Chain A
Amino acid sequence: MTTRQNHKHALLGAFGMTLALGAMAPAASAADAITFVSWGGTTQEAQKKAWAEPFTEETGIRVIQDGPTNYGKLKSMVDSGNVQWDVVDVEGEFALRAAKQGLLEPLDFDVIDREPLDERFVSEHGVGSFFFSFVLAWNTNKYSDGGPQNWEDFFNVEEYPGKRMVYKWPTAGVLEMALLADGVEPDNLYPLDVDRAIDKLETIEDHLTFWGSGAESQQALASGEAAMCFCWNGRVFELLQQDAPVDYTWNDNLTHADFLVVPKGTENREAAMQFISYAVSAEGQADFANRSAYTPINKKSDAMVDSEIRPHLSTAHPDQQVSMSLEFWAEEGPEISEKWNEFVLQ
C-alpha cells in the first residue's frame, strides 16, 4: 500500500465505520475463538460441519459463524482498524482485487500445506475454499429428444426455443461463455473481448432472463420458466437429487472458485491460518464436497469423495474444462461491470 493511500485511510478511517451497512458482528475478542464468515444457507452449514466443528475439536479454538459475506463491510473493518472477521469466504476475483488494495493478510504457507492444492486456486493472499463450474443445464420437459449440447446451442433459439437464464452479476462466466459460443478458442479468451461477447448476447436478448441467486436458478429451471440455464454445477446436482426434470452437460464447463481470505489487521491471525489449513486439508475438502457437491481444491481429496458424487464434481471433467482467469477479472471487473450494466439496462 502506498503512502498516499495510508494517508487517505487515516483521513477517512473515521467515516469508514459510518458507511458500514448494518450492525457489526459479535467480536471474537479472545484468541480462543475466531469468526468465520460465509454466504449462509446450505454452503455455510456444510462449511460449519466439515471444517469448523472438527477444527474446534482438534484445536480447542471455537469458530463463531457469521454472515453473509459483505465486501463493503470487510473494507470498512480494515479501513477503520476494527477487524471482527478472521476468515472470510469470498469470490475468487474479489480475493485478488482486495489483495491489490491491501485489504488482506498474506497467507502463511508454513502453516497451510500448499503442495497438494490445485495451483489455479492458490494465491499469496487467498486460497480456494472450493471450486465449481458453470455448466449448461436444461429442463428435459422442454426438449424431448436430447437437449442443447454446447454453448453454440445455447444461442440457437430456432432449434432450441425457450428462455435461457444467465447469472445476473458481471463476474467471470457469462462473457466467456458467449465468446466460446462465438467460436473463440479457450486459449485465446483473455484478454476478454467484452464488446464482442455482449454483441453475441444481444443476438438472443429477447430470450434471456437473469438469475441472482442459486435458489432462483433452481426454481426457474425445475419449473420450466427457464428452458435452459447457465448454472452452477452444484445447484444442478441438487436438482437431480430431487428428481427434477433436469439434465446437464459438462461440455466447455467454466471453472470458478470461492477463496478463503484473512482481513488485514485481524487479532487472530495465527488461529485464522490454522483454520484455513484445516479447511483446505484433504479431509476438510473431501468432507465439504460430500456435503455440498462442490469440488475440492485439494488434489488428495478426490479419492475420499463418495462415488455417487464424484462424477458430478468439476474434477471429473478436466478435458471438457475451461479455466477462467480470476486475475483478469480482479483487474478489469469494475470496468466490465459498466459495460455489463449498460447491456442489461437496455
Chain B
Amino acid sequence: MADTREERPGPIGQGAARQAAPAKADPDGRRWRSLGPAVPGLLFLAIVFLLPVFGVFLRGVTDPVFGLQNYAELLGSGTFYDILGNTFLVAILVTIFSILLGFPVAWLITIAPGRIARIIFAVVLLSMWTSLLARTYAWLVLLQNSGVINKMLVASGIVDQPIAMVNNLVGIVIGMTYIMIPFIVLPLQTSMAAIDKTVLQAASVCGARAPVVFARVFLPLVAPGLTAGGTMVFVMSLGYYVTPALLGSTRNMMLAEYIVQQVLNYLEWGIGGAAAVILLVITLAIYLPVLGFQRNTAST
C-alpha cells in the first residue's frame, strides 16, 4: 500500500519530505546514511523479486531460441486479445463495485463512535486474514446452482430455476470484489479521517446542498485515497489467478490463468514468460501515471 503513505501524516511520507530540506545544509552523506536500514530490505527484494523477474524476461526471449518469436506468437493470436479483454473487463468491474461498496464502509468507520468504528474496522481486516482459498471455496459453495443462495431463491419462489452465479463472469466479480473491498476501504478511510469536518460544515453554512458538498468538497478531498485504493485494486485484479480460476469458466480466462496453463500444462515457459512481461508492462503503464498524479495531489 505504498501510495497511502502520501496522505498519512506520518513518519514515512511527509517525514522524508521534511528531511529533504535540511539536506541542503547538510552534505549528502547524511541522506545516504539514512538509507542504511533499508539496505537489507532492498537487497531482499532484489534477490527474490527483481532477479526472478529478469529470469522471466529472459525466458520470454530465449525459450526455445533467442528472439521475439514468443511475443510475435502472442500478439499475433486473437485468443490473446480475448484473454486481455477478459482481464481488463474483470479488473474494471471489480474496481467499480469495490469502490461503490467500500466507500460507504470507509465513511461509516470515519464517522462512527470509536468503539463501533473499531469493530467495523476489525471486521474488514478479519476478512483479509482468512485464507484466500478458503474464502473462494466458500463462495463456490454459496453461489453454485445447488448452493444455499440458489436454494433460498428457488424455495421462496423468487426464481423458478437456479441462477448461474459461478463458472461465469458474475462469480468472478462477486468473489473478487469481496476480496478487494478492504484494499479500497483502508486507504479511503485514511483519506477521510484526515478531512477536517468543519470544512464540510463550512460548505453547508455557505449554502451548498448535500450533493454539492459531496461532489465539490468531499470528493476532491478523498481523491488521493480513492485513486490509491482504486489503482491498487485494479492492478491487483489484472494479475489475479485463484479466484477467477475457481469461480470463472474457461470462457472468462484471464491472463494469469493463461500463463499458468502455458507454464504448467504445456511447459511453454517462453510463451508464459512473454505473457508475464506483457502483463507487467501493462500494469506499470497504468500504475506509474497514477503514482505521478498522487504526488501532484499530495503536494497541492
For B263, what are the chain A residues with a Cβ–Cβ distance below 8 Å? 19, 21, 72
A16 smallest CB distance to B (angstroms): 8
Instruction: Give the distance in Å from the alpha carbon of A32 to the alpha carbon of B32 in the complex.
Output: 55
Q: Is there an interface contact between B82 and A345, defined as CB atoms closer than 8 Å?
A: yes
Instruction: Give the distance in Å from the alpha carbon of A344 to the alpha carbon of B167 in the complex.
Output: 13
Q: Kindly state whether residue B83 has any CB partner on chain A within 8 Å.
A: yes
**Chain B 246-257 per-residue mask, 1 if CB under 8 angstroms from chain A, else 0:** 000111010000
Among the 9-residue stretches A245-253, A269-277, A317-325, A334-342, the one with 4 or more Cβ atoms under 8 Å from chain B is A334-342
Q: Are A71 and B265 CB-contacts (below 8 A) given A338-B77, A345-B253? A: yes
Instruction: Give the distance in Å from the alpha carbon of A318 to the alpha carbon of B218 in the complex.
Output: 74
Q: Is there an interface contact between B79 and A71, defined as CB atoms closer than 8 Å?
A: no
Among the 9-residue stretches B51-59, B116-124, B281-289, the one with 4 or more Cβ atoms under 8 Å from chain A is B51-59
A107 smallest CB distance to B (angstroms): 20
Closest to A70 in B: B264
Q: Kindly state whether residue A196 has any CB partner on chain B within 8 Å.
A: no
Q: Kindly state whether residue B78 has any CB partner on chain A within 8 Å.
A: yes
Instruction: Give the distance in Å from the alpha carbon of A292 to the alpha carbon of B250 in the complex.
Output: 29
Q: What band does the interface of chain B fall in when counting residues whose beta carbon is under 8 Å from A?
A: 20 to 34
From B54, B77, B250, B267, A72 is in contact (CB under 8 Å) with: B267
Q: Is there an interface contact between A71 and B56, defined as CB atoms closer than 8 Å?
A: no
Closest to B265 in A: A71
Q: Kindly state whether residue B129 has any CB partner on chain A within 8 Å.
A: no
Instruction: Give the distance in Å from the alpha carbon of A225 to the alpha carbon of B167 in the complex.
Output: 12
For A101, what are the chain B residues with a Cβ–Cβ distance below 8 Å? 267
Q: Is there an interface contact between B79 and A19, defined as CB atoms closer than 8 Å?
A: no
Q: Is there an interface contact between A12 and B62, defined as CB atoms closer than 8 Å?
A: yes
Task: Give A110-158 interface residues, CB cut-off 8 Å to B.
Answer: none
Interface centre among A12, A19, A21 (most CB of B within 10 A): A19
**Chain B 168-204 per-residue mask, 1 if CB under 8 angstroms from chain A, else 0:** 0000000000000000000000000000000000000
Q: Kindly state whether residue B14 has any CB partner on chain A within 8 Å.
A: no
Instruction: Give the distance in Å from the alpha carbon of A14 to the alpha carbon of B48 in the complex.
Output: 12
Q: Is there an interface contact between B55 and A210, defined as CB atoms closer than 8 Å?
A: no
Q: Is there an interface contact between A168 and B250, defined as CB atoms closer than 8 Å?
A: yes
Closest to B249 in A: A210
Q: Is there an interface contact between A210 and B250, defined as CB atoms closer than 8 Å?
A: yes
Q: Kindly state whether residue B69 has any CB partner on chain A within 8 Å.
A: no
Q: Is there an interface contact between A169 and B52, defined as CB atoms closer than 8 Å?
A: no
Q: Are A209 and B264 CB-contacts (below 8 A) given A168-B250, A345-B250? A: no
Q: Are A334 and B266 CB-contacts (below 8 A) given A14-B55, A210-B250, A342-B79? A: yes
Q: Is there an interface contact between B51 and A223, defined as CB atoms closer than 8 Å?
A: no
Task: Give B254-298 interface residues, CB cut-off 8 Å to A.
Answer: 258, 261, 263-269
Q: Kindly state whether residue B146 has any CB partner on chain A within 8 Å.
A: yes
Instruction: Give the distance in Å from the alpha carbon of A344 to the alpha carbon of B55 in the complex.
Output: 31
Chain A binding surface SS class: helix
Q: Kindly state whether residue A309 has any CB partner on chain B within 8 Å.
A: no
Q: Kindly state whether residue A15 has any CB partner on chain B within 8 Å.
A: yes
Instruction: Give the distance in Å from the alpha carbon of A11 to the alpha carbon of B145 in the complex.
Output: 50
For A3, what are the chain B residues with a Cβ–Cβ distance below 8 Å? none
Interface centre among B62, B250, B251 (most CB of A within 10 A): B250
Instruction: Give the distance in Å from the alpha carbon of A275 to the alpha carbon of B65 in the complex.
Output: 37
Instruction: Give the distance in Å from the alpha carbon of A11 to the alpha carbon of B61 in the complex.
Output: 13
Q: Is there an interface contact between A225 and B146, defined as CB atoms closer than 8 Å?
A: yes
Q: Is there an interface contact between A223 and B59, defined as CB atoms closer than 8 Å?
A: no
Q: Are A72 and B58 CB-contacts (below 8 A) given A168-B250, A345-B82? A: no
Q: Are A345 and B83 CB-contacts (below 8 A) given A14-B55, A75-B267, A209-B167? A: yes
Q: Kindly state whether residue A188 has any CB partner on chain B within 8 Å.
A: no
A132 smallest CB distance to B (angstroms): 19
For A14, what are the chain B residues with a Cβ–Cβ distance below 8 Å? 55
Interface centre among A15, A169, A225 (most CB of B within 10 A): A15
Task: Give B195-219 interface residues, CB cut-off 8 Å to A.
Answer: none
For A169, what are the chain B residues with a Cβ–Cβ distance below 8 Å? 265
For A242, what are the chain B residues with a Cβ–Cβ distance below 8 Å? none
Instruction: Give the distance in Å from the alpha carbon of A225 to the alpha carbon of B253 in the complex.
Output: 22
From A8, A21, A210, A223, B145 is in contact (CB under 8 Å) with: A223
Instruction: Give the distance in Å from the alpha carbon of A251 to the alpha carbon of B268 in the complex.
Output: 36
Instruction: Give the distance in Å from the alpha carbon of A19 to the alpha carbon of B266 in the complex.
Output: 15
For B266, what are the chain A residues with a Cβ–Cβ distance below 8 Å? 333-334, 337
From A12, A15, A225, A337, B265 is in contact (CB under 8 Å) with: A337
Instruction: Give the distance in Å from the alpha carbon of A72 to the alpha carbon of B272 in the complex.
Output: 11
Instruction: Give the distance in Å from the alpha carbon of A223 to the alpha carbon of B267 in the complex.
Output: 36
Q: Is there an interface contact between B268 and A334, defined as CB atoms closer than 8 Å?
A: yes
Q: Kindly state whether residue A98 has any CB partner on chain B within 8 Å.
A: yes
A92 smallest CB distance to B (angstroms): 14
Instruction: Give the distance in Å from the alpha carbon of A341 to the alpha carbon of B55 in the complex.
Output: 27
Q: Kindly state whether residue A164 has any CB partner on chain B within 8 Å.
A: no
Q: Is there an interface contact between B59 and A344, defined as CB atoms closer than 8 Å?
A: no
Closest to B82 in A: A345
Q: Kindly state whether residue A18 has any CB partner on chain B within 8 Å.
A: yes
A246 smallest CB distance to B (angstroms): 16
Q: 18 interchain pairs (CB within 8 A)?
A: A12-B55, A15-B56, A15-B58, A18-B51, A19-B55, A21-B263, A21-B264, A75-B269, A169-B265, A219-B146, A223-B146, A337-B261, A337-B266, A341-B258, A342-B82, A345-B82, A345-B251, A346-B251
| 17 further A-B pairs in the complex, CB-CB below 8 A; given A19-B269, A225-B146 | A8-B62, A15-B55, A21-B264, A72-B264, A72-B269, A75-B269, A98-B267, A209-B249, A210-B249, A210-B250, A333-B266, A334-B266, A334-B268, A338-B79, A341-B83, A341-B250, A345-B251
